[in-house]
Structure 1
Amino acid sequence: MADSRLIQGRYRLLDRIGRGGMGEVWRAKDESLGRHVAVKCLKPLNDRDRTGHTFARVLRERFRREARVAAALQHRGVTVVHDFGEADGVLYLVMELLEGRNLSQLLEDNRGHPLAVADVVDIAGQGAAALAYTHRQGIVHRDLKPANIMRLTDGTVKICDFGIARLGRDIGLTSRLTGTGIAMGTPHYMSPEQIGGDRIDHRSDLYSFGCVLYEIATGVPPFDLDDAWAVLVGHRDTPPDPPRHHRAELPGYVERIILDLLAKEPDDRPQDAGELGHRLEAGRAVSGHVPTVVSYPAARALPAAPALRPRPGRGPSREPGMPSWTRGMTTGHKAAGAGLRITPPDPSAGLSGEWIARPVTGPAEEPVVPQRPAPSPEVLAGLAGRHDAGLSLGRLGRWTEAGEVHRAVAAEREHVLGPDHPDTLASHYEVGFSLSRTGHPADALREYEHVARARERVLGPEHPDTLAARQETAYALGRLGRHLEAHQAYTSVLAVRMRVMGPDHPDTLRCRHNLAFNLGRLGRLEDSCAMASDVAAARARVLGPAHPDTLVTRYEVAYLLGQSGRWHEALSTYQEVAEARAQALGRGHPDTLAARYEVGISLGRLGRSAEALTLYRALADDRTRVHGPAHPETLRARHGLGVNLGRLGRWEEVLAEARDVCAIRERALGPDHPDTLVSRREVAVSLGWLGRWAEALLEYRHVADARTRVLGAGHPDALASRDDEAHCLEQLGRGQEAVELYRKVAVLRQQGAADGR
């Protein structure tokens, strides 16, 4: 394979970018798709003797399991796996090619000093989101460490190398594989239950992640020792030094989170990564400013954790609770410490060794910093062309691809032009726009805030580009439910736009439209409707009554009329918008179809269910033709059809429709997606109306359990589902159980009301 430089006639190996104890990683070109990828290859194994054959078989089984699990993961914070297989006796894995540094390298670049606090918090937040996703899939990584967490050039954090990840339910297979003597984990980052050979779940990953955060926040791992046995005993028996003993300026909430993650007992840690993310957000909101740069004297040495000694009369190999594979175990690679540069890759780490090549260094161990030449006109023109290509992809609605293009251009512009150059900031702005359109408002907010600050510094606070970034910041805040902050941001931008551009400028009207929309989210429906009506009239006067922006605002007016209970006016407005859009854009345009959907909602609210049913049948057919049968909007139309069948008392048809929609949503969106659960509840409702209460109870309970798991026991949707469950129990004559459940729901509601005060 190495001679041909081509795998399976498709992946051409270009240059080796890393080497580990079990194989190599190559930068390669996918000849079929014309894109660059990373190809991870295992070293060929000797199958001749019996032991080697067993090891090879187990490793192949483990590798294929890794590949299947990793290929199923689709999240911004997890490395994308494109393909895997075996060629000429060599197992290979094809992944996205990442541009950036792993956390181990970042610490090494920083000469073992901790990362900036803002970076620590950002890495923690992004890592928590990725872990929350993988844990929801039932996947436990089991080998989280700095070398397995990458920070890309655009700031994205990705968890890599699910080399010993396993499905949570796949216990039997993992037990057999562990018995082969392949070490599962790295000593500096292993949880107490992992060390003791106990049952592992997602909370073990949280412990390991706490070790990583401890190290990037302080510069040293929790137990900074050279003896593997002492490290393991430290994790199992010894409380770590509080991080602020090493770094006094670390925010208190960061220290508390890290120490909670490092609790010896899994039950004492945050119970899932979602809780970790919420605590980080809450801490950031309370703590306010987080310093972004921390300087350290060159000669300053961070204190080491105290040495651990074996108990009197006991040798390391006889320590109770330690599995046999810990005997003779070396410390392996850790991100920081005196042995960083001379510690070889840990061969026991399997697929999770040092895969990324080290930077070239000068004689005095100073990184070589190349001189940056002035960019040529050809380079600038090429970047401008790629930027325009990204804009074109966005206009086509291909936002994920557009984001990838803008992210790459932003990184290159930052390199050749500098971080504050207007062109660099324009690319970052488009990255934020793409993130917003692909459902990542928190990531978009970070981009917009960065651009707004830089533009204000470089261009001035009243420059149109600065105002555009601040306005998008407000939009992202609204998407995150932070409506009061969004209102304040919109009001501030609008005041400047009114003064500088005038009340009828399109940008001013856009800001007023967004402010009106946000007022509605604050519950100020009358103010919202009045402002939206004014904006609609102004846009009709300035842009024309059929202009898309005018129709967008009229659509918002209709929505607000409906929210206010004025459904006759809402229906009339929706119908006018739908007809105008059909004439201007076509009957199959997504905006036209959206207005027709709202017409159906209004008809149903007015008790005109037969008309609504006819409309939804036609709409579902049109959506299927335009988007396909499994598209979320097609399924929304079919759900509306089912609702109106129910209003007409046609419950057998409702049940069939709801079950079909639920099955498609479960396949396309996942079993715990809110839309899937709405359809499952519709199944339960129809079963109840048909008198099949025992079946209905199972469905109601399934929905309630899923919402509790995903949203929390006190979330309004979870509580409403428990009420449904209790009502079902009543219908089955199980009154005492119903009363107890109603009582529990009441207590949770009271607690939620008290917490909200």
Structure 2
Amino acid sequence: MPIAEGAEFAGYRIVRRLGSGGMGEVYLVQHPRLPRLEALKVLPANVSADPEFRQRFEREADVAASLWHPHIVSVHDRGEHDGQLWITMDYVDGTDVVRLLRERYPGGMPANEALEIISAVAEALDYAYERQLLHRDVKPANILVAESRSARRIALADFGIAKMANETHGLTATNMTIGSVAYAAPEQLTGAHLDGRADQYALACTAFHMLTGRPPFADQNPAAVIGKQLSEPPPPLGGLRPDLVSMEPVLARAMAKDPVQRFGSCREFAAALRLGASRPGQNRWRPPARLRPHSRRPRRHPRRRRPRHRHPRHRRPGFRRGPTRRGRRTAHRRRGWRPSWASGSRLCWRWSWSCSSVSA
């Protein structure tokens, strides 16, 4: 049951309801002691009694509280009130990407604005993965954008199903009921081992949604969406946005079914996407050398080339080089000269009458 406006919950005064997420409802509340507004997330009573969901909710607070990044929503406090678990976090006075697409860009965002959001989320995901944390629920609804006159803040929210990168047990049976299957990686749908490339896949699906206005695998039936995620290749971006055809190979690589074929990090994916956007009209993209593993070819031993001119005077215009030794020998024979050793050990050329008479 929603909490009424003006009521108090765990010492916080409810201002209004902001929305509902996968694990509860979110309210805008007034801090009991500080003059600031915060976002209060409350888990329903029937779910709070479930030990598995209670473990998940408590871990969300612990995981999110250990992160501090300008593009991650920070956690302030957590607790329990009347059998309901709650957590308070930063209030981002803005909107999410889903509402932004619906109200401003129904056909897809401009490339520069989408790249700004993707780069910010990529920084946040790599920051969390460097601390052995996975988000596992990256989607447009969890990306918040707050605009003001001086600055623009982009924040990734809802680490509700965040997971330690080295965690291999527990809390796997209900992941897909909470996370969004339209953006989940194939290895996440099949229960395989996960790493940072799973969040990269979800970020690539989110980027496709932001650029085209629709998810890459859209269907009313969740089972059909799962089947497409596991078997079908990603739809071509150029079919919906011909002006962004140069970014199509980048998205195809980040949305590869095999995690080994994806980029090494979300930062590399964002950098490649920016590079592809800088080359409009080119559908053949090749990553730069710093993004290609083993990109340098083995160098051959440099062949020692003989200098073309041995002396600077040979470069003078109109100067003609003299004949070689072989050329001089041929010229002497044509004139009737024959080699002779009469002058000692040095080879000399003498006139031969027989040779001249034969030639005559």
Identity %: 32
The aligned residue for residue 260 of structure 2 is: 267
TM superposition shift of 1:182: 6.1
Instruction: Please state whether the residue corresponding to 1:177 is helix, strand or coil.
Output: coil
**SS state at 1:38 partner:** strand
In the alignment, is the contact (CA less than 8 A) between 2:47 and 2:53 conserved in 1? no
Of 26-35 and 69-78, more deviation after overlay is shown by: 26-35
SS at match of 1:259: helix
The offset of 1:191, in angstroms, is: 0.9
Pair 181,121 (structure 1): closer, same or farther in 2 beyond 3 Å: closer
How far, CA to CA, are the matches of 1:182 and 1:233 in structure 2? Answer: 14
User: Structure 2 CA distance, aligned partners of 1:180 and 1:187?
Assistant: 12
Tell me how far apart the structure 1 counterparts of residues 219 and 176 of structure 2 sit (CA, whole Å).
Answer: 23
- Structure 1: which amino acid aligns with 2:231? D
Say which of 158, 161, 173 aligns to 2:158.
161
Q: Does 1:222 align with 2:216?
A: yes
What does residue 14 of structure 2 align with? 13
- Counterpart amino acid of residue 161 in structure 1: D
| Letter aligned with residue 5 of structure 1 | A
1:12 to partner: Cα distance: 2.2
Flag the 1:177–1:246 CA change in 2: closer, same or farther, 3 A. same
CA distance in 2, matches of 1:33, 1:712: 47
Aligned length, in residue pairs: 286
Counterpart for residue 61 of structure 1: 55
**Alignment of 1:128 onto 2:129:** no
Query: 101, 104, 110: which is aligned to 1:116?
Result: 110
Contact preservation (8 Å) 1:139, 1:165 = yes
Aligned to 1:106, which of 100, 107, 111?
100
Where does structure 1 lack aligned partners over 5 or more consecutive residues? 48-52, 289-710, 715-743, 752-757
Counterpart of 2:41? Answer: 40
> Residue 237 in 1 paired to residue 231 in 2?
yes
Deviation at 1:266, TM superposition (A): 0.3
1:104-123 superposed Cα distances (whole Å, 9 cap, x missing partner): 11111136311112111111
Q: Which 5+ residue runs of structure 2 have no aligned equivalent? A: 281-289, 300-360
Distance across 2 between alignment mates of 1:14 and 1:255? 44
CA 1:273–1:196 in 2, change beyond 3 Å: closer, same or farther? same
Contact 2:40 2:87 in 1 (8 A): yes
Letter of the structure 1 residue corresponding to residue 28 of structure 2:
R
TM-score of the superposed pair, with normalisation by structure 2: 0.72
User: CA, structure 1 residues 712+107, in 2 after alignment: closer, same or farther (shift >3 Å)?
Assistant: closer
CA 1:46–1:180: 2 relative to 1, 3 Å: closer
Deviation, 1:270, is 0.5
AA of the residue aligned to 1:213: A
More strand by share: 2
TM-score when normalising by structure 1: 0.35
Partners of 1:258 and 1:135 in 2: how far apart? 21
Instruction: Using the TM superposition, give the Cα deviation of residue 136 of structure 1 relative to its aligned residue in structure 2, in angstroms.
Output: 0.9
Please give the secondary structure, in 2, of the residue aligned with 1:61: helix
Counterpart contact for 2:119–2:267, Cα < 8 Å: no
Instruction: Give the deviation of 1:5 after TM superposition.
Output: 3.0
Measured after TM superposition, the shift of residue 184 of structure 1 is 4.9
Once residues 248 and 291 of structure 2 are traced to their aligned partners in structure 1, the CA distance between those partners, rounded to angstroms, is 25
What are the superposed Cα offsets for residues 539-568 of structure 1, whole Å, 9 maximum, x if unpaired? Answer: xxxxxxxxxxxxxxxxxxxxxxxxxxxxxx
Q: Deviations over 1:152-178 (max 9, x none)?
A: 214322111000011111222xxx222
* 1:125–1:280 contact (8 Å) kept in structure 2: no
The residue type paired with residue 72 of structure 2 is: V
Amino acid at match of 1:222: P
Check whether the contact 1:129–1:277 (CA below 8 A) recurs between aligned residues.
no
CA contact (8 A) 1:28 1:39 kept: yes
Go from structure 1 to structure 2 and tell me whether the alpha carbon gap of 1:206 and 1:106 turns closer, same or farther (over 3 Å shift).
same
Q: Deviation at 1:149?
A: 0.9
Instruction: State the match for 2:80 in structure 1.
Output: 86
Letter in 2 for 1:278: A
Superposed displacement of residue 187, structure 1: 1.8
The answer to whether 1:195 aligns with 2:189 is yes
Cα distance change, pair 46–91 in 1 and its aligned pair in 2 (3 A): closer
Structure number with greater CO (CA < 8 Å, separation at least 6) is: 2
Match of 1:144 among 125, 138, 141: 138
Pairing of 1:437-448 with structure 2 (within 5 A): none
What is the alpha-carbon distance in structure 2 between the residues aligned to residue 180 and residue 217 of structure 1? Answer: 30
Give 1:149-548 correspondences, 5 Å limit: 149-153=143-147, 154-172=151-169, 176-179=170-173, 183-250=177-244, 252=246, 254-283=247-276, 286-287=278-279
CA distance in 2, matches of 1:71, 1:282: 34
SS at match of 2:20: strand
Q: 1:87 to 1:129 in 2, by over 3 A?
A: same
Kindly state the Cα deviation for residue 103 of structure 1 after the two structures are TM-superposed. 1.1
Query: Are the equivalent residues in 1 in contact too, given 2:121–2:155 (CA < 8 A)?
Result: yes
* Distance change in 2, residues 1:132/1:142 (3 Å): same
Q: Judging by fraction of residues, say which structure has more helix.
A: 1
Native 8 Å contact 1:178 1:184 kept in 2: no
Which whole-Å CA distance do the structure 1 matches of 2:3 and 2:117 have between them?
Answer: 37
Give the counterpart letter for 1:256 in structure 2: P
Cα distance in 2 between the residues matched to 1:216 and 1:106: 9
Q: Aligned partner of 2:63: which letter?
A: V
Query: RMSD of the alignment, in Å?
Result: 2.9
Question: What SS does the corresponding residue of 1:45 show, helix, strand or coil?
Answer: helix
Using the alignment, how far apart are the partners of 1:209 and 1:180 within structure 2?
21
Tell me, in whole angstroms, the C-alpha distance in 1 between the residues paired with 2:42 and 2:178: 20
2:233 and 2:292 map into 1 onto residues whose CA distance is: 32
**Distance in 1 separating the partners of 2:58 and 2:181:** 25
